[in-house]
Amino acid sequence: MLKKILIGVGVVVLGFALFIGYTLATTRSHSPEAIANYSYEGLDLKVTYCQPYKKGRLIFGEESAEALIQNGKYWRLGANDATEITFSTDVNFGGGSLSAGSYRMYAVPNADSWKVTLNSELGEFGAFEPNYDLDVLSVNANLSSLDTEIEQFTIGFDSDSTGVKLNMMWDKTMATIDITK
């Protein structure tokens, strides 16, 4: 009898392990990893993140509307791993001074503003909230509406005579943060 119970438990544990392994193995194909780079006059920027798709879902909004990214709640700016940003030199990030280095980047979106925070906790997987005691800098992103719907979450850089703009785009929303040396 004990042998049958142990075999049954073993089968359940093996099944669970296979399910978790399959889920982790296929997650990257649903939200592939992407890297956004920028380099100009000694300023090198790199953002590593994963790109989820809209797939007909309501992206930004209220919990009651079953929005994927809910107003006033933590969002890792992508999927899978926590989003990380690296600066080769000290910069002004959205109005705040920031030392060169790598940071976890996350947001708390709302309908009319996004608070984007850089945190010193790196290498995290999943939607787990960061250790907020390790937050380094929080800034407000400039929001704008896009004419064209963006199916896949995208982070990129633009530059002009004033500096670099970090753009985060999904659905019909673009959040922008100015970066200068």
Least confident of 16-25, 46-55, 71-80, 139-148: 16-25
Q: For residue 125, what is the DSSP state?
A: B
Which residues share a beta bridge with 175? 143, 168
Q: Higher model confidence: residue 18 or residue 100?
A: 100
Cβ contact 9:1 at 8 Å = no
Listed in sequence order, the residues at least 6 apart from 86 whose beta carbon sits closer than 8 Å to its beta carbon are 44, 45, 46, 47, 101, 102, 103
d(CA 63, CA 61): 7
Element (H, E) at 178: strand 163-180
How many Cα atoms within 13 Å fall on the side-chain side of residue 138?
12
In tens, the pLDDT along 138-168 reads 999 999 999 999 999 999 999 998 899 999 9
Q: Higher model confidence: residue 88 or residue 18?
A: 88
Residue 49 is predicted with a pLDDT of 96
The pTM (predicted TM-score) of the whole model is: 0.83
- pLDDT grade for 28, boundaries at 50, 70 and 90: very low
d(CA 101, CA 85): 8
In tens, the pLDDT along 99-149 reads 999 999 999 999 999 999 999 999 888 778 999 999 999 999 999 999 999
Task: Give the number of residues written for the chain.
Answer: 181
Q: What does the domain layout of the chain look like in residue ranges?
A: 1-30, 31-180
